[in-house]
Chains A and B, each alone.
Chain A
Amino acid sequence: MDNRKYPFSWDLLGDIAVGRPNLGPITRIELYRLMQYTFRDVIEAKFGTEKADEIFYESGRLAGLEFFKNMIGKINDFHEFIRKLQELLRELRLGILRVEKADIDQGSFVFTVDEDLDCSGLPESDQEICKYDEGFIAALMESFFADRQFCVKEVDCWCTGDRTCRFTAEVVV
């Protein structure tokens, strides 16, 4: 598409310190969710459920790529990667990341995110809802393992009654 109006760049996040001298960088999760779920509603209504999920996954992916590039930087090994990620996600109040399984050779991973920003505390439904997170995690993994592609799937979610969101990440051969 030519003449894009909204191409993403990290700079678009703006200078919070200058712009919000009194309110600072903190806001209420409800507002974040209000925005996300209204987006989701409108997109689903216009393009259907499948398309909506796809758009969220892709958005998460873009967010993950930028996040890695701007927040994580130079990393030497997987342990360091996880450690840094855990610290960052906790510091940014995004969630508590844990590793259940990490088979680097096979490219098979299981992560859980407790107190997930998107879904913890949501009413129970039958749907795993964290599509955005799936894309986000996939992008992080792909950024770290530069030459691999990952398929990330949420297998347990707060919304399905679990107390944690659990993601599998598998290398796409």
Chain B
Amino acid sequence: MATQGDQQEVLLNLAVQALEDIISNKVSVNTLPADLKSHPEFVNLYEKLAAIRGFISALANGDLSQGMRVKGFLSGGLRTLQANLRHLTWQTQMIASGDFTQRVDFMGDFSVAFNSLTKVLAKATAELKESEARYRLLAENVLDVIMVIDLAERFTYVSPSIVRLLGRTQEEIIGRTIEEVLSFDSFQALCVKLRQLLADEEVVSQGHVFELEHFNKNRQVLWIEVSVNILRDDKGKMAGIVSVVRDISERRKAERMLQIAYDLQRKSDFFNDIINGNVSIDKDAIATAKKWGIDFTIPFFCCLIDIHNPIDTQQKKRYINNLLSKNPEYVVWDIRDNIGVLLQTCHTLDILDAGIQAATQIKEKISRYAPDLIVTIGVSDMHNGPDSLEKSYQEARSAIVSAKCQLEYSGGIYCYRDIGLFQLLATYDGKERAAEYIQKLIGPLIKYDRDKGASLLLTLEIILQSNNLKEAAQKIFLHHKTLVFRKQRIEKILGVSIDHFETKLALAAAIKLHKLSNLVNN
């Protein structure tokens, strides 16, 4: 039979083993021997240690959520460690959310490492933000549109200038695929092309540029230039394409204007050479004329446009040239101070009116652009055959000359067939004989007007144009008696009576020649 001392010894050994187990060994729950369970103080101690063991084990596994009701130094230290780790977790979360001011001051070497980490992060992030801001500033402010498409054909970036170019907002496009964006018809051609390029790494990697005609949201035609480059990931693999889209409508317009100006120059040289007799009308000339839109073998007529404008005449002429060139019926060329227009009206039955109709249309077009411009259009008769261009030009020119010799010149349409005596006079080039004729018939009157500051020549012209003196007096707001008196003075100066038809005709011809020579000499 064991003594009480033996029993104490056994119990102590059991207790030591139980504590040793819980501190050092792997034990399963409820391994406390039954004999020890009757000692409440030991059970209390054992349970405290078990709780601390559980807490440590959780901590070791990274579980910071465990609570421990045990009080005292050992558990207190552990809880402090837990508190610090939890605070560290919170600090890390703060850093993740962008708060780089977090500093650790309770973990020795770790604190130093951690704090330098946050400093570096803060610096790197600030630099990143700055450079991102710089790129953003650039991308958001260029007029060109920058687009980025990834391999899944998705727009990952579009700069805001897209609105100006295509009438679409960034929100409408970013995040969508080409497939989805294809429904914007303003975008279609571009997207189709981009999709092709996305599949053709070789072409894109060389840097690809193409031009497209393009409709914006308001159905306006734009010319755009798209330059495409490959977008690579950090391993150098293709990750998508970057394209820069630029509105080159203005450039295209300028190019077109240049082409038009060049064409006009060549066309003008060609027609002017014919008119001046520098080129004979052979097969080649007929072919060239046909290329410019006129067939010399069938009838045509000429409208010659004269612009009476003291300033910017050349600019106005250029504009009118462009304006009329848009109409395929008009073959327009530039001739000295005028613009020539050749027309072929094979479809018009009323050949007589065709010229006036055409000239009226031209005049309307011009006045729509410049209502205040004084425009005279001379219209030739219909002609065909080898020398028809020269003939029709001269007729149109004579019509303009006659217009300028009118009493009140204010532009308008003048047909060659209606200019009467001017058909003859306008092309009359016996200058000396003409001067002699003028001098003989109305010379004294011109001299009298010049010496006395009078206007008897004008009075004579009005008398000649009128059916009787009463009508003439009304025209120039004179009393009938005054006009009678003036008429007598004119007759006295000239030494003729102006009542006879032959005299009237001779004087009228002299006045017209006089005006004509003034016009030519000026």
Contact = CB atoms under 8 A, between A and B. Distances in A.
B71 A114 contact: no
Contact of B73 (A96, A98, A112, A124): A124
B87 A98 contact: yes
A112 B80 CA distance: 9
Interface string B489-506: 000000000000000000
A11 B76 CA distance: 40
B137 to A, nearest CB: 26
Interface in B277-323: none
B80 A162 contact: yes
Q: Is the interface of B mostly helix, strand, loop or mixed?
A: helix
Contacts of B99: 79
B79 interface: yes
A98 B75 contact: no
Given A79-B99, A83-B101, A114-B106, A161 B75 contact: yes
Interface in B74-102: 74-77, 79-80, 83-84, 86-87, 89-91, 94, 99, 101
Nearest to A128: B71
Contacts of B86: 100-101, 110
B108 interface: no
A126 B76 CA distance: 12
Given A161-B71, A161-B73, A101 B79 contact: no
Contacts of A124: 71-73
Residue among B71, B77, B84, B90 with the highest chain A CB neighbour number at 10 A = B71
Contact of A100 (B71, B83, B105): B83
B71 A164 contact: no
Contacts of A102: 90
A162 B74 CA distance: 8
A163 B71 contact: no
A166 B79 contact: yes
A149 interface: no
Nearest to B94: A79
A126 B72 CA distance: 9
A40 B422 CA distance: 131
Contacts of B89: 100
Interface residues of A, number: 21
Interface string A71-108: 00000000100010000000000001011111000000
Given A83-B101, A99-B90, A100-B90, A164 B72 contact: no
A110 B89 CA distance: 12
Contacts of B71: 124, 126, 160-161
Interface in A116-173: 124, 126, 156, 158, 160-164, 166
A154 to B, nearest CB: 13
A112 B76 CA distance: 13
B84 A156 contact: no
A109 to B, nearest CB: 10
Of A102, A112, A158, which is in contact with the most chain B CB atoms at under 10 Å from its CB? A112
Contact of A166 (B77, B83, B94, B106): B83
Interface in B100-129: 101, 105-106
A78 to B, nearest CB: 10
A162 B79 contact: yes
A100 B87 contact: yes
A114 B106 CA distance: 10
Contacts of A112: 83-84, 87
Nearest to B89: A100
Nearest to A156: B79
Nearest to A163: B80
A110 B75 CA distance: 18
Contacts of A114: 106
B81 to A, nearest CB: 9
Nearest to A77: B99
Interface string B47-79: 000000000000000000000000111111101
Contacts of A160: 71-72, 76
A166 B86 CA distance: 12
Given A100-B89, A162-B76, 12 more contacts: A98-B83, A98-B84, A99-B91, A100-B83, A101-B86, A101-B90, A112-B83, A114-B106, A160-B76, A161-B72, A163-B76, A164-B79
19 contacts: A79-B94, A83-B101, A96-B105, A98-B87, A98-B90, A99-B87, A99-B91, A100-B83, A100-B86, A100-B89, A102-B90, A112-B83, A114-B106, A161-B71, A161-B74, A161-B75, A162-B80, A164-B80, A166-B83
Interface of B: 71-77, 79-80, 83-84, 86-87, 89-91, 94, 99, 101, 105-106
Interface of A: 79, 83, 96, 98-102, 110, 112, 114, 124, 126, 156, 158, 160-164, 166
